[in-house]
Amino acid sequence: MQNAQNAAAATELTLQVIPSGKGCGAEVTGVDLAALDQATVATLKQAVLDHLVVVVRGQPITDLQLIALGKTFGELEPPGTSVIGKPYIDEFPDILVISNVMEQGIPKGNLGSGEAIWHTDMSYREKPCTIAILHALEIPPAGGNTYFANQYMAYEALPDELKKKLEGLVVIHDETYNSAGQLRKGFREITDPREAPGARHRIFRTHPLTGRKALYLGRRRNACIVGLPLEESERLLDQLGAHACRPEFVWHNEWKIGDTLIWDNRCLIHRRDSFDASQRRMMHRVQIRGEATQ
């Protein structure tokens, strides 16, 4: 028994990348995110390229340590427009709070307690963030889990005919609503997706570091393929949306306090389950400045 316990403790201390066995995802063990060294940073970066999303568990890091972790991946990018129209933490405007907690009627974070539909982050900008890091401070007893779908696999699994048809086509990525369906401050309701404000990106993008092609859809709501009749665009986007999250592309994290997830926003989509609105969920998040899609 003693030996088994020692062995378990030793395993946790060793820097190891353990693939989830699913369509993406790995756990990295033997990491102290509060005391990063070069070998750990290199391992994390490679693991993110190889597995697209990694989880490091049991990390009681501070906001400053979250920011320091983010900066090892590149320059931080301030979050998009929050539902309150200003940063949630005055001292750390680079941190986005994801939470359903309200104080005196004012949200303490984005996304509430409802489902956040499949999406990729910040794709309504010309240069969407490359990496996002989400750290769990408070977690409800059930629900609120986060799912990731591998979009290299989604691209590769498309029938050749459809690949040919879609190659070079461009999608409008609406900025009006966030993935929880909340209207962003300063935006008005949109009824015709062709008029949606937001960036345009090719439907297939090439990851600058891996050279691999990925399907790049963004949010379904108000999305639109440029140059196609609206009905055809709607039909194709529904079909592609269903394809992109096929179970064999997906891994999900069942959150525990102290979990830190790092994901590559260039080749994944993600969604979040709803949870009981009377329970608290509190996450702090940073993201890394992006590049033009190619």
Taking the complex as a whole, the smallest distance from the CB of residue 5 to ligand OGA amounts, in Å, to 33
Select the residue interacting with ligand OGA from 201, 243, 252, 272 (CB under 6 A): 272
State the DSSP string of 245-271.
T-GGGEEEE---TT-EEEEETTSEEEE
CB of 67 to ligand OGA, least distance (A): 16
Active site residue 121: yes
Name every residue whose Cβ is closer than 8 Å to that of residue 274 and which is 6 or more positions away in sequence: 113, 114, 115, 143, 144
Task: State the catalytic residue, choosing from 51, 57, 121, 205.
Answer: 121
130 binds ligand OGA (CB under 6 A): no
Give Cα 131 to chain centroid, integer Å.
Answer: 8
CA distance 215 to 69: 28
- Mask 161-180, x = binds ligand OGA (CB under 6 A)? ------------------x-
For strand 282-287 and strand 131-138, is the pairing parallel, antiparallel, or unpaired? antiparallel
Q: How many residues contact ligand OGA, by CB under 6 A?
A: 12
Closest CB 262 distance from ligand OGA, rounded Å: 12
Outline where DSSP puts E strands in 109-247: 110-111, 116-119, 131-138, 146-150, 170-172, 200-202, 204-206, 213-215, 224-225
What is the smallest separation between the CB atom of 179 and ligand OGA, expressed in angstroms? 6
237 and 218 in contact (C-beta within 8 Å)? no
Interacting positions 103-122 with Mn ion (CB under 5 A): 121
| Known catalytic membership, residue 50 | no
Q: Which residue is nearest to Mn ion (CB)?
A: 121
Closest distance of CB 199 from ligand OGA, Å:
17
Any catalytic annotation for residue 270? yes
Number of H helices, E strands in the chain: 6, 19
Asked if 271 and 113 count as a contact pair (C-beta separation under 8 A), the reply is no
Note whether 134 binds ligand OGA by CB under 6 A: yes
Whether 207 is a known active-site residue: answer no
109 vs 233, beta carbon nearer ligand OGA: 109
Tell me which residues are annotated as active site: 119, 121, 270, 285
Binding-site ranges for ligand OGA (CB under 6 A)? 98, 111, 116, 121, 132, 134, 146, 179, 270, 272, 283, 285
Binding-site ranges for Mn ion (CB under 5 A)? 121
